[in-house]
Structure 1
Amino acid sequence: MAGVPEKARFYLERSVPQLREFEAKAIFTPEEIRSLVRKRGDFEHIVLSPGSKPIDWMNYVTWEKSLESLRAKRCRRLEIRTSTKHTGQGRVFGILERAVNKHPGCLEIWKEYLLYARDTKATKKYRKIMTRALRMHPAKSELWVLAGRRSAGNGDMQAARGFFMRGARFCTRDATVWLEYAKCEMEWLEKMDARKGKKGGAEKAIQEQAEHSDDEMQFAEDDSEDDVDENGQLVILPDPDKSAAKKVFDKAITQVLENNPALDGAIPLAIFDVSKKQPFFNATVAEQFFDVFSAFTKASSQPRIIQHILDSMSELYPNDAATCYCYIRQPLIGIDINTPSYPKALKEALARLKSSLSTTTSKPKLVEKITAWINTTLSSEELDSGIRTVLTHTLRTLSNP
């Protein structure tokens, strides 16, 4: 078996064509090229040694990326148009591929690999990397969130839901996937509500969501597929011919879709209800769901969802500090501090605060939450002086019961 020096020499020799281009086009001076070779040799010996760590590979990748950035800048300055960036990007991809093979359990390397594929717009490679990463780390919630978020960002909610639902089956130790799934669905509901006012907007949006399923990553269940990745693992890629076979939605079907429960917040409610059966669920997680839903004030279904969360918290955790805190904040959701309706809502919230302080099972914890909330509100420079006086007095009352 070849030793470290022989392996390092092998990888260094593969970069010779690039170095010759640097010299021929005067992108780097001969002395700089010799320095590059020495630096690469040092990195290769470090990463190929038996005691190499993931950080060594990350440093190597960072250096190669900075070299590619410098090459691009010099080409622009020297007006060299024939130098290609694919060689430098290929080296970075090669190092990252070797890194994940050397340290498959390091999540940071996988995330760096995905980030670089995204930044270089290598879409097909990104899908293959993500598929391998999810196979290697099915219990890592951040990977499922990353996959779901990317699909949602590309407008493919069907694929995003598939990732989130599959991730929810694997990640049952914390609520990360569930909360992100709920957030993603609320973002979708806001987009649907925004398009309802436009002519044909809702109809077009519903059709896109129902039909757009070509860009999802799937896992093959058998060996009948021919498409395999670098490691021989099966990957099902989008079929470009499927677009020609898409069905046309008529007005009757579209009207049915517009009235479906999904547009009324049924999916976020289902996510919350199913999460209540998971081992990680408690009052704190319920409060986190409340915070997620509270941020989407433009969704028409938000008030109903918020009320459902509060009803569930009151049933499962009556008088808990988290339940009381959400109950107190409910009147203020979606109301700006500079609007005429804010004083009335604040009056209702303070009345709820007074009653909750006498019934809560953890008064110190509730006081801590309310104090943080009031301090955040007082930090606004646009706050009305009368409201500031009321909140300051309330804060002082909490500090000196």
Structure 2
Amino acid sequence: MAGVPEKARFFLEQAVPQLREFEAKGIFTTDEIRSLVRKRTDFEHLVLSPGNKPSDWLNYAAWEKSLENLRAKRCRRLQVRTSSKSTGQGRVFGILERAVNRHPGNIGLWKEYLNYARDMKATKRYRKIISRALRMHPAKPELWVMAGRRSANNGDMQAARDFFMRGTRFCTKDATIWLEYAKCEMEWLEKMDAKRGKKGGAKRAIQEQAEQSDDEIKFPEEGSDDDDDVDENGKLILPDPGNFPGKSVIDEDTTKKLEGNEEGNPALDGAIPLAIFDISKKQPFFNPTVAEQFFNLFATFDTVSAQARLVQRVLDNMTELYPNDPATCFCSIRRPLVNVGINTPSYPKALREALARLKSSLSTTTDKTKLADKVKLWIEPIVASEELDAGIRTVLEHTIRTLPRP
């Protein structure tokens, strides 16, 4: 087998035509090119050595990207219009491809590879990378989230839901994918609510969300040479949960809800994020902390018309399942202030109710100190706001001082 120097020479020789172009067009000086060759040689010997680390590959790719950025800047300054950027991008892709082949178990490398393909708008390559990554790491929620969010950002919510629903079958250790799925649906609701008032109303909004952009993950036509990662129907080949050790987490009726195809389209009224929360309650990872995360998530989307229904549903379930837990008490205290601005006329009345709930909760909660810490962290940013009324600030400062201490 060839040693490290021979392997390094093989990859270095592939860059010779580009270096000659640099010199011929005056993009880099002879001394600069020598420096580039030395740096690239050092990187090649480092990544090809037996003890190489994923960070070595990431540093190599980062250096090549910085070199390509420098080349592009100099070409603009020197008005060199015949220097192709594809060569530099190809080198970065080649390094990242070698990196994931050398360290297939490292998620950081896969994510960097995917992010670079996304930034370069390399749609076909992105499709191949995400397919390989998901088949190799089906239990990594961050990969399913990347795939789902990309589809959602490209306007294909049906594909996004397919990714998220399949991911929930594999990722059962924590609530990561469930929370990201709910967040994605809330962002979609936010967009749909913004379009409801326009001509065509909700019906047109639903149609628009299915439109595809030029950067969408598209699949090759049947019979083409680029169909290694698709089935006979042109669909992306993903991990099959059929033989996965674990029961199905989403039944047929709920799947129809999550796909947003029910008659009357209750998806626009928050049925999908609500269904996600209801299903997550049945999972082993569900606890007061996860429920609080759902509450916090829904509470951030002030412009979604279904927000009040969603946060109240979460709070009702928390009250039923964990009545005196600090997380439940904290959500109950904040409930009157959800979607109420600190400079609105309704804020003082809502704050009065919140403080009444705080007093009641401190006498019933199972952990006063933990609840007090949560309340303090919540109030301090409000007190620091310049828009806050002086009288309300005084009340909140007094509230912080009177909170129980360990």
TM-score by length of 2: 0.88
Structure 2 CA distance, aligned partners of 1:363 and 1:227?
A: 65
Structure 2 CA distance, aligned partners of 1:237 and 1:29?
A: 53
1:371 counterpart residue number:
376
Structure 2 CA distance, aligned partners of 1:141 and 1:174?
A: 9
Q: What are the within-5 Å matches in structure 2 for residues 165-184 of structure 1?
A: 165-184=165-184
Q: Is the 8 A contact 2:369 2:404 kept in 1?
A: no
- 3-state SS of 2:274 partner: helix
Q: Is the 8 A contact 1:145 1:177 kept in 2?
A: yes
Q: How many correspondences in the alignment?
A: 378
Listed as ranges, the gaps of 5+ residues in structure 2 are 236-260
Q: Is the 8 A contact 1:331 1:346 kept in 2?
A: yes
Any idea what the Cα deviations from partners look like across 1:288-321, whole Å, max 9, x if unmatched? Answer: 0000000112111111111111111111101111
Asked if residue 307 in structure 1 is aligned to residue 312 in structure 2, the reply is: yes
Asked if residue 198 in structure 1 is aligned to residue 198 in structure 2, the reply is: yes
Structure 1 CA distance, aligned partners of 2:148 and 2:395?
A: 44
Structure 2 CA distance, aligned partners of 1:27 and 1:122?
A: 26
Q: What are the within-5 Å matches in structure 2 for residues 2-401 of structure 1?
A: 2-209=2-209, 215=216, 233-234=229-230, 259-399=264-404
Q: Is the 8 A contact 1:195 1:205 kept in 2?
A: yes
Q: Deviation at 1:17? A: 0.8
Q: Is the 8 A contact 1:319 1:359 kept in 2?
A: yes
What amino acid maps onto 1:178 in structure 2?
A: W
What amino acid maps onto 1:320 in structure 2?
A: D
2:246 counterpart residue number:
none
- 3-state SS of 2:41 partner: helix
Any idea what the Cα deviations from partners look like across 1:96-127, whole Å, max 9, x if unmatched? Answer: 11111111111111111111111111122112
2:257 counterpart residue number:
none
Q: Is the 8 A contact 1:144 1:164 kept in 2?
A: yes
- 3-state SS of 1:398 partner: coil
Shift in CA distance, 317/354, structure 1 to aligned 2, threshold 3 Å: same
Q: Deviation at 1:395? A: 1.5
Structure 2 CA distance, aligned partners of 1:91 and 1:312?
A: 53
Structure 2 CA distance, aligned partners of 1:344 and 1:298?
A: 21
Structure 1 CA distance, aligned partners of 2:79 and 2:61?
A: 27
- 3-state SS of 1:284 partner: helix
TM-score by length of 1: 0.89
Any idea what the Cα deviations from partners look like across 1:248-276, whole Å, max 9, x if unmatched? Answer: xxxxxxxx978322111111111001101
Shift in CA distance, 237/33, structure 1 to aligned 2, threshold 3 Å: farther
**In terms of mean alpha carbon deviation, does 287-296 or 11-20 score higher?**
11-20
Structure 2 CA distance, aligned partners of 1:5 and 1:271?
A: 54
What amino acid maps onto 1:281 in structure 2?
A: F
What amino acid maps onto 1:75 in structure 2?
A: C
Structure 2 CA distance, aligned partners of 1:301 and 1:351?
A: 26
Any idea what the Cα deviations from partners look like across 1:149-200, whole Å, max 9, x if unmatched? Answer: 1111111111111111111111111111101111111111121111111111
Shift in CA distance, 142/165, structure 1 to aligned 2, threshold 3 Å: same
Shift in CA distance, 187/325, structure 1 to aligned 2, threshold 3 Å: same
Shift in CA distance, 348/217, structure 1 to aligned 2, threshold 3 Å: farther
Structure 2 CA distance, aligned partners of 1:354 and 1:333?
A: 19
Structure 2 CA distance, aligned partners of 1:78 and 1:211?
A: 41
Q: Deviation at 1:143? A: 1.2
Q: Is the 8 A contact 2:155 2:211 kept in 1?
A: no
Structure 2 CA distance, aligned partners of 1:267 and 1:146?
A: 20
What amino acid maps onto 1:54 in structure 2?
A: P
Q: Is the 8 A contact 1:68 1:85 kept in 2?
A: yes
Q: Deviation at 1:400? A: 6.9
For the aligned residue pairs, the C-alpha RMSD in angstroms reads 2.3
Structure 2 CA distance, aligned partners of 1:386 and 1:343?
A: 10
Q: Deviation at 1:362? A: 1.3
Q: Is the 8 A contact 1:168 1:178 kept in 2?
A: yes
Any idea what the Cα deviations from partners look like across 1:364-400, whole Å, max 9, x if unmatched? Answer: 1111111111112111111101111111122222147
What amino acid maps onto 1:307 in structure 2?
A: Q
Q: Is the 8 A contact 2:372 2:405 kept in 1?
A: no
Structure 1 CA distance, aligned partners of 2:152 and 2:342?
A: 32
**In terms of mean alpha carbon deviation, does 197-206 or 6-15 score higher?**
197-206
Q: Is the 8 A contact 1:338 1:384 kept in 2?
A: yes
Q: Is the 8 A contact 1:159 1:213 kept in 2?
A: no
Structure 2 CA distance, aligned partners of 1:159 and 1:13?
A: 42
Question: How much identity, in percent, do the aligned residues show?
Answer: 73
Structure 2 CA distance, aligned partners of 1:233 and 1:102?
A: 21
Structure 1 CA distance, aligned partners of 2:334 and 2:225?
A: 53
What amino acid maps onto 2:275 in structure 1?
A: A
Shift in CA distance, 70/154, structure 1 to aligned 2, threshold 3 Å: same
Q: Deviation at 1:212? A: 5.7
**In terms of mean alpha carbon deviation, does 18-27 or 332-341 score higher?**
18-27
Shift in CA distance, 323/204, structure 1 to aligned 2, threshold 3 Å: same
- 3-state SS of 2:285 partner: coil
